[in-house]
Amino acid sequence: MSTLEEYAAAAAPAPLTREDLLPEGEVKWCPGCGNYGILTAFQKVLPGLGLPREQFVFVSGIGCSSRFPYYINTFGFHTIHGRAPAVATGIKLANPELSVWVITGDGDALSIGGNHFIHALRRNMDLKIILFNNRIYGLTKGQYSPTSQFGVTTKTSPLGVPDYPFSPVRLALAAGATLVARTFDADQNHLQATLAAVAQHKGAAFVEVWQNCPVFNDGVFDDIIGKSFRQEKVVYLQEGEPLRFGQDKGQVLIANGRGMQAVPWEQATPDTVIRHDPDHADATVAFMLADMEEQGLPVPMGILRRVRKPSYDEIMADQGAPAGSVPDISALLGRLEGWTIAER
């Protein structure tokens, strides 16, 4: 090193760029798969977070979505079916400094991995769990998943799916996630804004990303997010704003005493209009938002709920268990109640 500047330049790495995150090999999702858009959003969002590349860990289970870690040049762990939240928990607890993201799918998170999913959220584990929901098993070529809608025909439901689907956001809210959001693959801006907000959250964050699988479940969300429907069928959640949608935002969702109801914007009164407040401690409205699709109301996209409470690693630190320290065995054994046999 010849000068101090050079030394400083070498010590402080160049800021992370999109190019740094590009995969070493080929991305092997099917052409047109919604996963590509999600990958792009990550490549755009991560550089803006101010963290060096080595601090990011992407952990996944099994399924099309779970190939994600191979396609982003950070630390990555492609684990086994359903278990990514459990592996991610160990990674996070062993090094709480890391930014740990779980990439999962509807089958991986909600079927085989349901238990780990709910418990990671319940513990407020500081993980960002991103569920690519395409409502089908893609990698095994087209069987129904726990989010496939009742009655649809798939390879394993020729007479229609006989079971009722999970609502991922409702499940996440009920399990205690401290951030719950929904977005979709076709809206790059919204996707990026959502991921950026999630990145800032401390605690268990959950994002459901509606993702199109053009091969086995093409257009499954089209009647809501399709270009010609979106305006009428989607409410973009904006902090402090009423829940307006429709042409010229002419419609609004109001509280009607039992739930929500859509009315023309002119009919809304200050008493009935709901201004979106994701940070509200009370989860009642968040549950109502999560329920809207089932009620046939427009589907909310954005952050449904975001509250701050101590995360598991913070609680551990509070309880005085320092992550990463090494025991002093002499002191430890010295404390054992015991006796001494003297030399004879």
Partner 1 sequence: MTTQGIQEIPHDRQQLERVTVRFAGDSGDGMQLVGGLFASEAAWMGNDLGTLPDFPAEVRAPSGTVAAVSGFQIQIGASTVHTPGEESDVLVAMNPAALRAGLKSLRLGGVVLFNTSSLSERSLQKAGLSPEDLDAMRRHHQVIDVEMSRLCQLAVADTGLTKAQAERCKNFFALGLLSWMLHRDISPTVRWIQSKFAKKPAFADANVKALEAGYRCGENAELAAALPLYHVPEAAMAPGRYANLTGNQAMVYGLMAAACRSKRPIFLGSYPITPATDILHEMIRLRQDGVTVFQAEDEIAAVCSAIGASYSGQIGVTSTSGPGFTLKQEALGLAVMTELPLVVLDIARAGPSTGMPTKTEQSDLLQALHGRHGEAPVFVLAASSPADCFAVAYEAVRLALTYMTPVVVLSDSYLANGSEPFRIPAAEELPAITVALHQDATAFLPYGRDPVTLARPWAVPGTRGLEHRIGGLEKEENTGKVSHDPANHEAMMRLRAAKIHKAAASLPPVQVMGDPQAPVLLVGWGSTLGAITEAREQLQQDGIAVAQVHLTHLNPLPPNLEKVLRSYERVIVPEVNSGQLAAILRERFLIPTIGFNRIQGLPLRARDIHAFVLRTMEESQHVHA
Which residues make up the interface to ligand SF4 (CB under 6 A)?
29-30, 33, 35, 64, 134, 138, 213-216
Phi, psi for 131 (deg, rounded to 5): -105, 115
54 binds, among partner 1, ligand SF4, none (CB under 5 to 8 A by kind): partner 1
Shortest Å, Cβ 135 to ligand SF4: 10
Sign of CA dihedral 306, 119, 106, 79: positive
C-alpha torsion angle, residues 115, 172, 90, 332 (rounded to 10): -90
Phi, psi for 273 (deg, rounded to 5): -70, 140
Cα(35)–Cα(178) distance, rounded to whole angstroms?
25
138 binds, among partner 1, ligand SF4, none (CB under 5 to 8 A by kind): ligand SF4
The CA–CA distances, whole Å, from 174 to 117, 170, 177, 188, 293 equal: 12, 6, 8, 28, 17
* 22 counts as binding partner 1 under rule CB under 8 A: no
* 315 counts as binding partner 1 under rule CB under 8 A: no
Q: What element of type H or E holds 132? A: strand 128-133
β-bridge partners, 245 = 251
Shortest Å, Cβ 226 to ligand SF4: 17
124 binds, among ligand SF4, partner 1, none (CB under 5 to 8 A by kind): none
55 binds, among ligand SF4, partner 1, none (CB under 5 to 8 A by kind): partner 1
Q: Output the CA angle 122-125-126, nearest 5 degrees.
A: 140
Shortest Å, Cβ 289 to partner 1: 27
Cα(323)–Cα(338) distance, rounded to whole angstroms?
30
Nearest to 279 by CA among 183, 179, 172, 174: 179
30 binds, among ligand SF4, partner 1, none (CB under 5 to 8 A by kind): ligand SF4
* 44 counts as binding partner 1 under rule CB under 8 A: no
Cα(236)–Cα(227) distance, rounded to whole angstroms?
15
Q: Pattern of binders to partner 1 over 219-258, x per CB under 8 A? A: ----------------------------------------
Q: Looking at the chain, how many residues does it have? A: 344
Cα(193)–Cα(199) distance, rounded to whole angstroms?
10
Shortest Å, Cβ 273 to partner 1: 41
Helix (H, G, I), strand (E, B) or coil at 159: coil
Nearer to ligand SF4, 66 or 167 (CB): 66
283 binds, among partner 1, ligand SF4, none (CB under 5 to 8 A by kind): none
* 340 counts as binding partner 1 under rule CB under 8 A: yes
* 59 counts as binding partner 1 under rule CB under 8 A: yes
Q: Pattern of binders to partner 1 over 71-110, x per CB under 8 A? A: --xxxxxxxx--x-xxxxxxxxxxx-xx------------
Which residue ranges make up the site for partner 1 (CB under 8 A)?
13, 24-25, 52-55, 57, 59-60, 62, 69-70, 73-80, 83, 85-95, 97-98, 115-116, 119, 316, 319-333, 336-344
